[in-house]
Chain A
Amino acid sequence: MSTGKPKPVVALYGLTCCAGCQLEILNLEDDLLDILGHINLVQFRMGSSATHPGPYDVCFVEGSVTNEAELTRLKELRENSKILVAMGACATTGGVNAIRNGRNIEEFKQSVYGDASHVNTFPQILPLKSHVKIDYELQGCPISGQEFVEFLTALLTGAEPREKNYAVCVECRMKENVCLMKEGELCLGPITRAGCGALCPSLGFPCEGCWGPVPQANVESEIDMFSQKGASFDLVVRKFRMFNASAEEFMKQLKRRLNIEWL
């Protein structure tokens, strides 16, 4: 497809994370060269020593802001980008980085480093949208390469990217899976946004919620179902916090329902 229009200038950035989302893009082996033919990828530190100061038409950011330097970087990227996309659980719901939230960060640092005076890190990890305006979010831990391609295609063709405003359960039903909740498992599928194709439940593993909250998630009913299955208070909290400790939609209701001060 050549429209004669200049290719959009695209940047990929990583903040603190495992780099798995950038890797999912590199893992699109069949489509990678095709994608690179349609965009001008100018900044991709993990794969290129070339640098480009911007401005960018589209900038994808994975990872969490964990210190002042990263916050400054994110603000610069916002200034320099027409469209800023938060990519993956660390950027959209805090991911595993946010499990620290509400805990004693000084004790955490000390337990890992002993003398931790050289370690500079924020006690709370927030979604990128709490720091700067974010135009779009791609969810998942890691993101789905297929969703990335769909998103990019929409942007390139001028269409509005489609949000999946329904739960993992919908995808799971369409695959005609046996419901793991009915088998006694604690599955976050009913309140988690679709997009993964119900990957985990299809392979016999209950959903861990890495795509984040589906709009209007009935969190209270999910908590009640978990409790009826005999899940301890602690286990319910851990399930909700594994990838979503800074997803407000979950934490607010969890705090209210279980009356937890520190959340």
Chain B
Amino acid sequence: MALAKFDIHHIARVEGHGDLFVELKEGKEPRVEMRITEGTRLFEAFLRDHGHNEVSHIMSRICGICSHSHAIAALRAVEAAMQIEPHLQTHQLRKLQLIGDNLASHALHINFLALPDYVGARNVIEMLPKYQEEVQRALRLKKLANDLMELIGGRHTHALCAVVGGYTHVPTSSQLQSMRKRLQEAIPDAEAQIELMGMFAEPKLVRRSQYLAVKHAKDYPLYEGDLVTDKGLRVPESEYTSLIKERNVPYAHAKFSEVEGKPFVVGSLGRLNVAKDQLSDNAKRMTKKVGLKLPSYDIFQMNLGQAIEYLHYLDQSIEIIDDLLTQNLHADIVDYKTRSGSGAVAVEAPRGVLVHEYRFNARGRVLAADVITPTAMNYSNIEADVRSLSPVLQELSKDEAELRLNMLIRAYDPCISCSVHFVRTA
């Protein structure tokens, strides 16, 4: 007989449509299913036969919230397949776009999606009377990120200037200078955001899992590198299939993933647990100030982790702009020859490791595509977390238990429309 059953339909304040089903049974493993009900979208199938220079604009449409991450991953993968080497300024502008994506998504998730639960509200509007300053700050932090994405990519959702080999349009030096000033001025806001999220030590769910990020020799995880876990596994991004194993589940339009047969975590804790030493000095100082011990195995600290990353990425974007200002920026697309080949890359989207892989024929047309999104990577770990939460769930009232489950899922900042439909074709 079931001790308790939870059937949470259409989890709120996450992107997309998903349900959670939990059945706690006497003396048995609980039954836990992340039922991903978002309609399937079949991107990898309909992408076939498209030209290599159409890929990034189409794949951007996988997700509004992390559209820049998908576009940049697609561009890097196309270039890897065709051995195209863009100039330094292109890489730096793309890093700024990726940072913008991470900043905007983090500000949205921390303040609008996660925070209401911690202050007893159902949405940001209900928070307004008591938390006017916090909401205003959140809007400032979000707007700054959107303006950064628009400045570099041409639009905050679905950028358009970044193309294979370069950019059709670049910002002027004076635009970059005024953006730099705004990024610098936002540091106090970013620090206040960390202090706010640092106040919420409860609830906790400490369970040691595996943590995965795109690790680079010089920079905190972002644009390129090896896939590295906190347990010391390391593979080049192009060999992701040797590390990440996917499987179908009958109740979801998304594939679930494991590393060495076990669930793993990507996202802010994935990055922090693998690369905490690469944080900016500001971000390290604030981590210490709020008393976050890294590595952390408390999944609810994904929220605080994002706040720390907001500050880190601000610092990193200022560094990149300083570097760009020493160059003579101009719209620049390298010459290249269309050729057959395949390329696989990984970048850090706001929710964690994002893999794109494509294979092209000699005319540069897509033969096959594969995308693994961070949310899909996290599903298996979410289910494992819910199972380990079951003793606690039995002690809570039904409403409290449902809220706890919702908060747990929201801590992962899932992007469900991203996660449906991604597997290797052919």
Give the interface of A toward B (CB within 8 A).
14-24, 26-27, 29-30, 32-33, 36, 41, 44-51, 64, 66-67, 69-70, 95-97, 99-100, 103, 107-109, 111-115, 118-119, 121, 141-142, 199-200, 203-205, 208, 234-235, 238, 242
Q: How far is the CA of A24 from the CA of B65 in the complex (A)?
A: 10
* Assembled-state Cα–Cα distance A50/B51 (Å): 44
B61 lies within 8 A of A141 (CB): yes
Q: What band does the interface of chain B fall in when counting residues whose beta carbon is under 8 Å from A?
A: 35 or more
For residue B41, CB closer than 8 A to chain A, the reply is yes
Contact yes or no, A18 B62, CB < 8 A: yes
Measured CB to CB, the residues of B under 8 A from A are: 10, 12-17, 37-46, 48-51, 54, 57-58, 61-65, 67, 108, 112-113, 116, 122-126, 128, 135, 139-140, 142-143, 146, 154-158, 160-161, 163, 168-169, 248, 250-251, 253, 255, 331, 406, 417, 421-423, 425-426
Q: B15 is contacted by which of A30, A32, A46 (Cβ under 8 Å)?
A: A46
Please indicate the chain A residues that have their CB under 8 angstroms from the CB of B425 in the complex: 111-112
Give the distance to chain B from A23, nearest Cβ to Cβ, in Å: 4
The 5 closest A-B pairs by CB, nearest first: A20-B64, A48-B123, A16-B39, A66-B39, A204-B168
**B45/A111 in contact, CB under 8 A:** yes
- Chain B residues contacting A27 (CB-CB under 8 Å) are 142, 146, 156-157
Contact of A32 among B63, B64, B139 (CB under 8 A): B139
Question: Could you list some 9 contacts between A and B, CB below 8 A?
Answer: A14-B17, A24-B64, A29-B142, A66-B40, A108-B46, A112-B44, A114-B248, A121-B42, A235-B51
A203 near B248 (CB under 8 angstroms)? Answer: no
- With A112-B45, A113-B423 as given contacts, are A47 and B112 in contact (CB-CB < 8 Å)? yes
Looking across the interface, which residue of chain B has its beta carbon closest to that of A40?
B125
A203 touches B160 (CB 8 A): yes
Task: Give the interface centre of A20, A108, A115, A118 by most chain B CB atoms within 10 Å.
Answer: A20
- What residues of chain B lie closer than 8 Å to A97, measured between beta carbons? 41
User: Which of A48, A115, A234 makes the CB contact (< 8 A) with B122?
Assistant: A48
Complex CA–CA separation, A51 to B9 (angstroms): 12
Q: Are A114 and B65 in contact (CB under 8 A)?
A: no
**Does A121 contact B39, Cβ atoms closer than 8 Å?**
yes
Q: Is the CB of B122 within 8 A of A142?
A: no
Expressed in whole angstroms, the Cα–Cα distance for A22 and B135 within the complex equals 19
What is the CA–CA distance of A16 and B46 in the complex, to the nearest angstrom? 16
Please, how many angstroms separate the alpha-carbon atoms of A66 and B15 in the complex?
18
